[in-house]
Structure 1
Amino acid sequence: MMGPVLAACLLIILSTAWISQANEALCKKDGGVCSCNNNKNSVDCSGKMLTAIPINIPTDTENLKLNYNKLSSFLSKAFHNLKELTYLSLSTNQLQTLPEGVFDQLVELDELHLNDNDLKSLPPGIFDKLTKMTNLDLYENKLQSLPHGVFDKLTELKTLSLNVNQLRSVPNRAFDSLSNIKTLWLDTNPWDCSCNDILYLSKWIREREGTVNGIESATCVDNKAVLDITEKDAASDCVSPNTTTAIPTSTTTPASVIYDDIHEIKVPQENFQKFLGYQEPDHLPTQPQCLMSISGYLGLMMSLMLTSAAILYVFHFLKKA
């Protein structure tokens, strides 16, 4: 016969297992698309061909990977329930725009990876709430300009990657607030050194040469180093791309455009079904993911049955005693 102490121990073990299974089930309410490490508050949704951000990501998640998917846009409130995030990777997707305020609730964020997307511009103030961030990756996009003051609040930033874009210049004083910057990649941009708005960048590079890594690699379209540009070289008062407005405008509004709440965030018609809860076939879990999900729920049911049996046994033993 099993003693009361052994029965109590079994009850504790089974209860712990049940809680673990419940947490895993919570993490996989999206059909098992993402994998979760509850001990590290980490959720990995990378490489799942996602066209929309999965729902029911645990609110205490600190590390979220959404890289290597097919995300082209998301709502302005996509991350508003994930206030504990310190790491967010959206790299290697198909992002063309970012909604204004989409990162405003991520006040604990330390790293943000937006590289390898199709971003042509950034909304003003998009990073203003991310005052603790130390690493920002924007390389390999299609950025043509930067909003004035876009990095002003990032005083803790140590690494900034702007290489492999289409930048011709940066706004005046664009990097002045980056007092802790250690690495700034600027190469592989078509820096226009014939226009006088390049003079700020040239002077900034010269002043920090040897203390900030990567900046010397910035070259003009004629392969001359940006740091060597003088006022004589950049004598023209050119009309540069608009650096005050990051959201491109259009003269026509397609009938297939809808809006998110009161914000004028344009959402393609192809995403409308997602607002109604429809998931496209490439967002559905694969057969192995389905099997994993089913096995998880079977495990949960088994834990419940064993826990119930242990409880009944304890009550039966106490009643006999």
Structure 2
Amino acid sequence: MMGPVLAACLLIILSTAWISQANGALCKKDGGVCTCNDKTKSVDCSYKELTAIPSNIPTDTDRLVLQGNKLSSLPRTAFHGLNKLTNLDLQWNELQALPAGIFKELKNLETLWVTDNKLQALPIGVFDQLVELDELYLNSSQLKSLPQGIFDKLTKITNLDLQNNKLQSLPNGVFDKLTELKTLYLRNNQLRSVPNGAFDYLSNLGTVTLHTNPWDCTCNDILYMAKWLKKKQDEGLGGVDTAGCEEGGKAVLEITEEEAAEDCVYPNTTTAIPTTIITTLASSNDDDIPELPVPQENFQKFLGYQEPDHLPTQPQCLMSISGYLGLMMSLVLTSAAILYVIHFLKKA
């Protein structure tokens, strides 16, 4: 009678190992891919070749690092339940779009990194719930346009980085609500001018970078910026003298009304999400988007043994190569144990 008992024990052990391997958000010591810190409430899943966000991220996580992976898309519920987050790092991935509502539960977020992705546009209102945000890094993300009012709810932000994108224009009033802004990075875009009054409400601005843009100093739209830069240079604002005209190499702040006498004619640009993205989103439905569970376990349980009743409800698509091999080995041994039990029972 010891045969079935031993086989059952083996099944239990292997099932527990499978749970540990399958749960991609577990700490390294438990067979997962992420590094977790109970004291700082941080979860670091950076540079793991991930193509989706791990499940089972504790709801009391304060800092979540997902940089340097291969994330190309995210479900709109990716961060739901993580309302304690203050720092979220998504930089150096392959994100092509951000779904509307993806940040709606992150009302305590203070720093958001989306640097170095493949975003060409942003959904209207995608940042509206981030009312505590202090720093937003959207640099090097291939943005071509910004929706109207995209930053209107970010009234506490002090650092906004939009450099190294492909912005061709700025919406009217895009910075009007950012009265606490101290640094603004706009260098290395495709801007030819800024809307009249674009910087009027930035009373706390200490640094602005505007160089490496094709500023059109022959067009009268540049006159607002020229006068504003001249005034801010006299007030000691850093970076204003580096904005140069596309032709002639003259500083924008030196341009006169006689030099910028032409009417401005620019090709139409849009702040909407590209048609290809809209089509993709419209053709998908919620059933196509994986709902990754976020259980309520605290960090103590998260870092330790996972009871069988916490078996993941969906397949985990994230794990290291070693974790994957371990899972396959566990499945092979489990199958062997099942076959052994069946064979023993038939023989009995």
Common fold by TM > 0.5: yes
Q: Which residue of 1 aligns with 2:240?
A: 215
Distance 1:192 1:274, change over 3 A: farther
List aligned pairs for 1:265-304, cutoff 5 A. 275-277=288-290, 284-288=318-322
User: Following TM superposition, by how much is the alpha carbon of 1:143 offset from its aligned partner in structure 2, in angstroms?
Assistant: 0.1
Distance 1:254 1:148, change over 3 A: closer
Distance 1:32 1:60, change over 3 A: farther
What SS does structure 2 have at the residue aligned with 1:196?
A: coil
Hey, what's the Cα distance between the residues in 2 that align with 1:203 and 1:292? 65
The amino acid across from 1:214 in the alignment is G
What SS does structure 1 have at the residue aligned with 2:184?
A: strand
What SS does structure 2 have at the residue aligned with 1:104?
A: coil
Cα deviation 1:85-122 (Å, max 9, x = unaligned): 00000000111110000000000000000000111000
What SS does structure 2 have at the residue aligned with 1:136?
A: strand
Q: Paired residue for 1:43, among 41, 49, 64?
A: 64
Consecutive unaligned residues of structure 2, counting only runs of 5 or more, are 1-22, 42-61, 293-316, 328-348
Q: Deviation above 6 Å: which 4+ runs of structure 1?
A: 271-274
The amino acid across from 1:285 in the alignment is M
Q: Paired residue for 1:237, among 263, 273, 280?
A: 263
Work out the percentage of aligned pairs sharing the same amino acid. Answer: 51
What TM-score results when the alignment is normalised by the length of structure 1? 0.71
What SS does structure 2 have at the residue aligned with 1:227?
A: helix
Distance 1:69 1:206, change over 3 A: same
User: Following TM superposition, by how much is the alpha carbon of 1:276 offset from its aligned partner in structure 2, in angstroms?
Assistant: 3.0
Hey, what's the Cα distance between the residues in 2 that align with 1:231 and 1:224? 14
Hey, what's the Cα distance between the residues in 1 that align with 2:158 and 2:278? 41
Check conservation: 1:64, 1:89, Cα contact below 8 A: yes
List aligned pairs for 1:169-318, cutoff 5 A. 169-210=193-234, 211-222=236-247, 223-242=249-268, 246-247=271-272, 256-259=279-282, 275-277=288-290, 284-288=318-322
Deviates more, 1:35-44 or 1:187-196: 35-44
Cα deviation 1:44-79 (Å, max 9, x = unaligned): 000011112373562211011000000010211111
Distance 1:203 1:50, change over 3 A: same
What SS does structure 1 have at the residue aligned with 2:241?
A: helix
What TM-score results when the alignment is normalised by the length of structure 2? 0.65
Structure with larger RCO (C-alpha < 8 A, sep 6+): 2
Hey, what's the Cα distance between the residues in 2 that align with 1:239 and 1:171? 14
Hey, what's the Cα distance between the residues in 2 that align with 1:255 and 1:157? 32
- Whether 1:52 and 2:52 are equivalent positions in the alignment is no
Q: Paired residue for 1:124, among 127, 148, 172?
A: 148
Q: Which residue of 1 aligns with 2:330?
A: none
Q: Paired residue for 2:158, among 134, 144, 164?
A: 134
Check conservation: 2:74, 2:99, Cα contact below 8 A: no
Consecutive unaligned residues of structure 1, counting only runs of 5 or more, are 1-24, 260-268, 294-321
- RMSD over aligned Cα, in angstroms? 3.3
